[in-house]
Amino acid sequence: MISCSMAGDSTDKKDLDTAGKERESRKRSRSRSRDRDRKGSPGRERKRHRSRERKRSRSRSKSPERDRRQKDKERERDKDRDRSRKDRERDRDRRDKDRSKKSRSTSPKSKDLKIKREKDLKKEEEEEDEKKKEKVQPLSLEELLAKKKAEEEAESKPKFLSKAEREAEAIKRREQVAEERRRQLDEERKKRRERYLGGMKKRRRTRHLNDRKFVFEWDASEDTSTDYNPIYKEKHQVQLYGRGFIAGIDLKQQKRDQSRFYGDLMEKRRTLEEKEQEELRLKKVRKKEAKQRWDDRHWSQKKMDEMTDRDWRIFREDYSITTKGGKIPNPIRNWKEYSLPPHILEVIEKCGYKDPTPIQRQAIPIGLQNRDIIGVAETGSGKTAAFLIPLLVWITTLPKIDRIEDSDQGPYAIILAPTRELAQQIEEETIKFGKPLGIRTVAVIGGISREDQGFRLRMGCEIVIATPGRLIDVLENRYLVLSRCTYVVLDEADRMIDMGFEPDVQKILEYIPVTNQKPDTDDAEDPEKMMQNFESGKHKYRQTVMFTATMPPAVERLARSYLRRPAVVYIGSAGKPHERVEQKVILMSEGEKRKKLLDVLASGFEPPIIIFVNQKKGCDVLAKSLEKIGYNACTLHGGKGQEQREFALSNLKAGAKDILVATDVAGRGIDIQDVSMVINYDMAKNIEDYIHRIGRTGRAGKSGVAMTFLTKEDSSVFYDLKQAILESPVSTCPPELANHPDAQHKPGTILTKKRREETIFA
């Protein structure tokens, strides 16, 4: 057996050696043929070289384009040749591998090794299965402690999270914080509700008869002997002499007993009908008392249909609303409760109007009744939306086709403003409201090309916002007609009159047809008739709305001429100095003003600050001197162009400039938020302009300071200024002004001297 195995091994070795030699010889022949293919024969190489030279000489005479094409062809040919050679080599290698596999044979020894390896693997798998089948023994206490310690060590090691995991953790933490805050708010709201409305009383649990425990002891109330024993039933009350009930006579108790006796007697004698009537009477009394108790709630806790006249009076007092002029509708409590169209409510919500302002609460319901309005309110009180919303409601009721076809007849509404800045602000607000509704707006103001404005007007629009001077220019040059104008707004009417625009306003109103004027009768105050006319579309009466901060005689005269039975709305202390503005006055000479101004600016007031002067030249000089010192100042006066005005205001609003030096042109119509201080470097010529100036600060519920520098030349306004400061709850009049001779009486009044005592001799 040993010899046989040895012989078998030797034969295997021989077979392997022969196979290896054959493989080596094949490799050598293959490499030789590859080198031959690469090098090629010398004759063939010479032929190739000649053909290339011939082609080169031929191609030199050809055009560059053909030369390029020839080179591309040669390049493609070389690539194809290389590709075919690689394919041949790949096929040859594949054939050699197949031959080597066929020549290779498995020996018996390798077969035995393979079988042994398979057995070992099978045995290992069986052992693993047996281990799994064995019952797992519980861990000991030491093992449990070691395991816990290892887990704690693993947890204490820092764990590095990916960016996505960190973001997920942050979102989860934010949600937990928001949920905790929401839960706290709910608890606070619940406690507050229980405090004011009373908590829910727990119902007493009724115990069924089967659940009751049997009690063996008697209660005194269960004693029935008193019902049958006459001694207990007809107990005799003995009246004794002395003090008190027990010791003697108690008169109060006797009166109560007598009244109870007569009441019981009358109850026995009453008929059935009388009893029913008495029950009805008592029901009405109880209902009335319950209603009175219900009405004691605040108006904010009631629904709209539960509001009484008393509630509406309290509502108006809360918002400082005063009205006069016929039957005035109730104000708006909030946007959702009032019956505005859904598309208008959507626009209001998009514009960010959460709650209506006092002037909006009262003026919008009046405007929707097509009544003329005089609104007396301070600047910055939301007057623009108060006259825009009724106008937009009416325009959106008209068919869009009619609006487009009648565009050559002019706008439906004109809004007049005294200054360009105010007109531009109204235009921005109108575009914000009107653009989502498809309502076109054009501003006609100075400083812009008249031809461009005329082109925009010819394209058609529903609303025109203008200053009086430029609008007359456009009307006279036939760029615009007012044939279908039924809505006229005069914003800042008192300022318009002060600036001398009264003749221009009257001239503009004469361009509007008189056919749609309201009758000057009681019908102009009748809400039902005016509402029917408002919904009639194109045949609506002309509606005139006038907003002002003060009511001088000139404004009243204009209102009497062009308004028909108007409703007058007063908001707060309109026309008086702002209640939240602290007014300070300093008397000095003209030369001390500059030094005092620098002291005030250095005292730490936050920008923006507005400084008013009376002359354009003084405005520019003061601004330049402030810039030299290091303050960021800009100017605004009538000598500036439109672009310069807009640039100055935008810089102040954006925070690029801290101080605005202006004349009275900026005292009206501009809205700059968070003005902390107004300085009257030159006192205004009259008290109305002074009120408009200090109205730039203390807007939208915030407080402010107004500093005024007075000289002897301002003595004509001392009396009015003193009265304005005394009326302000947050201001104190200095003794220099209070005791000044010119502040004791109004200029122009004739003082009557006291007659001396005369002795007449007979």
How confident is the model at residue 174, as a pLDDT?
A: 93
Instruction: Give the angle 575-579-583 at the CA atoms, nearest 5°.
Output: 95
Sheet of 609-612, strand order: 581-587, 704-710, 677-680, 609-612, 659-662, 633-636
Q: Average the pLDDT over each of 154-163, 196-205, 387-396, 702-711 and give the range with the smallest value.
A: 196-205
Domain final residue pick, 571, 602, 631: 571
Evaluate whether 334 touches 355 at the Cβ level (below 8 Å). yes
pLDDT at 583 over 70: yes
Q: Average the pLDDT over each of 197-211, 629-643, 715-729 and give the range with the smallest value.
A: 197-211
Query: Can you give the CATH number for the domain in which 660 is found?
Result: 3.40.50.300
Average pLDDT over residues 387-408: 84
Average pLDDT over residues 169-181: 92
Whether residues 402 and 429 fall in one domain: yes
Evaluate whether 682 touches 707 at the Cβ level (below 8 Å). no
Q: Which residue's entry shows tokens 């008209």?
A: 398
Nearest in space to 189 (alpha carbons), one of 35, 421, 181: 181
Tens digit of each residue's pLDDT (9 = 90 or more) over 44-63: 667 777 777 776 665 555 55
How confident is the model at residue 754, as a pLDDT?
A: 46
Question: Which one has a higher pLDDT value, 363 or 5?
Answer: 363
How confident is the model at residue 759, as a pLDDT?
A: 47
Residue 606 binned pLDDT confidence (cut-offs 50, 70, 90) = confident
Tens digit of each residue's pLDDT (9 = 90 or more) over 66-79: 667 777 888 888 88
In a domain, 152, yes or no: no
How confident is the model at residue 182, as a pLDDT?
A: 93
How confident is the model at residue 546, as a pLDDT?
A: 93
Average pLDDT over residues 490-517: 87
How confident is the model at residue 77, as a pLDDT?
A: 83
Whether residues 629 and 661 fall in one domain: yes
Highest mean pLDDT among 342-356, 445-459, 738-752: 342-356
Domain final residue pick, 271, 293, 315: 315
How confident is the model at residue 248, as a pLDDT?
A: 53
Which domain range does residue 450 map to? Answer: 319-571
How confident is the model at residue 108, as a pLDDT?
A: 62
How confident is the model at residue 6, as a pLDDT?
A: 43
Evaluate whether 496 touches 558 at the Cβ level (below 8 Å). no
Residue 8 binned pLDDT confidence (cut-offs 50, 70, 90) = very low
Tens digit of each residue's pLDDT (9 = 90 or more) over 327-340: 889 999 998 888 88
In a domain, 142, yes or no: no
How confident is the model at residue 679, as a pLDDT?
A: 94
Residue 225 binned pLDDT confidence (cut-offs 50, 70, 90) = low
pLDDT at 762 over 70: no
Evaluate whether 278 touches 270 at the Cβ level (below 8 Å). yes
Q: Average the pLDDT over each of 129-138, 324-333, 650-659 and give the range with the smallest value.
A: 129-138
Question: Which one has a higher pLDDT value, 531 or 615?
Answer: 615
Distances (CA, A) of 420 to 206, 424, 668: 78, 6, 10
User: Residue 570: phi, psi to the nearest 5?
Assistant: -105, 130
In a domain, 28, yes or no: no
Whether residues 648 and 541 fall in one domain: no
pLDDT at 745 over 70: yes
Whether residues 383 and 527 fall in one domain: yes
Question: Which one has a higher pLDDT value, 742 or 224?
Answer: 742
How confident is the model at residue 689, as a pLDDT?
A: 83
How confident is the model at residue 562, as a pLDDT?
A: 86
Question: For residue 335, what is the DSSP state?
Answer: T
Question: Which one has a higher pLDDT value, 225 or 520?
Answer: 520
Helices (runs of H) and strands (runs of E) counted in the chain: 29, 14
In a domain, 726, yes or no: yes
Whether residues 287 and 415 fall in one domain: no
Q: At what angle do helices 687-694 and 718-727 cross, to 10 degrees?
A: 40
Q: Which residue's entry shows tokens 């309109």?
A: 574
How confident is the model at residue 670, as a pLDDT?
A: 66
Nearest in space to 351 (alpha carbons), one of 377, 389, 381: 389
pLDDT at 15 over 70: no
How confident is the model at residue 133, as a pLDDT?
A: 61
In a domain, 87, yes or no: no
pLDDT at 697 over 60: yes
Q: Chain-wide mean pLDDT for the chain?
A: 79
Whether residues 566 and 588 fall in one domain: no
Average pLDDT over residues 168-178: 92
Q: How far apart are CA 397 and CA 538, in angstroms?
A: 10
Residue 309 binned pLDDT confidence (cut-offs 50, 70, 90) = confident
Pairing of strands 373-376, 543-548: parallel
Whether residues 608 and 713 fall in one domain: yes
User: Both tokens of residue 354?
Assistant: 């959460």
In a domain, 22, yes or no: no
pLDDT at 750 over 60: no
Q: Average the pLDDT over each of 365-379, 399-413, 424-438, 674-688 and give the range with the smallest value.
A: 399-413
How confident is the model at residue 500, as a pLDDT?
A: 86
Whether residues 567 and 660 fall in one domain: no
Nearest in space to 442 (alpha carbons), one of 420, 419, 429, 460: 460
Where are the extended beta strands (E) located within 244-349? Answer: 321-324
The total number of structural domains that make up the chain: 3
Question: Which one has a higher pLDDT value, 295 or 345?
Answer: 345
Question: Which one has a higher pLDDT value, 445 or 303?
Answer: 445
Q: Is 531 exposed, middle or buried (0-12, 13-18, 19+ CB in 10 A)?
A: middle
Q: How far apart are CA 268 and CA 265, in angstroms?
A: 5
How confident is the model at residue 18, as a pLDDT?
A: 62
In a domain, 328, yes or no: yes
Tens digit of each residue's pLDDT (9 = 90 or more) over 252-266: 777 777 777 777 777
Tens digit of each residue's pLDDT (9 = 90 or more) over 516-574: 787 777 777 777 777 777 777 667 888 999 998 888 888 888 888 888 889 999 887 64
How confident is the model at residue 5, as a pLDDT?
A: 44
Whether residues 356 and 479 fall in one domain: yes
Domain final residue pick, 571, 593, 618: 571
Tens digit of each residue's pLDDT (9 = 90 or more) over 456-484: 888 888 999 999 999 999 999 888 898 88
In a domain, 242, yes or no: no
Whether residues 558 and 516 fall in one domain: yes
pLDDT at 203 over 90: no
Its pTM surpasses 0.85 = no
pLDDT at 31 over 70: no
Residue 3 binned pLDDT confidence (cut-offs 50, 70, 90) = very low
Whether residues 721 and 590 fall in one domain: yes
Kindly report each contact of residues 90-97 with a partner whose C-beta sits within 8 Å and lies 24 or more positions away, as own/partner.
92/30, 96/26, 96/30
How confident is the model at residue 661, as a pLDDT?
A: 93
Q: How far apart are CA 221 and CA 588, in angstroms?
A: 93
Whether residues 448 and 494 fall in one domain: yes
pLDDT at 139 over 80: no
pLDDT at 240 over 60: no
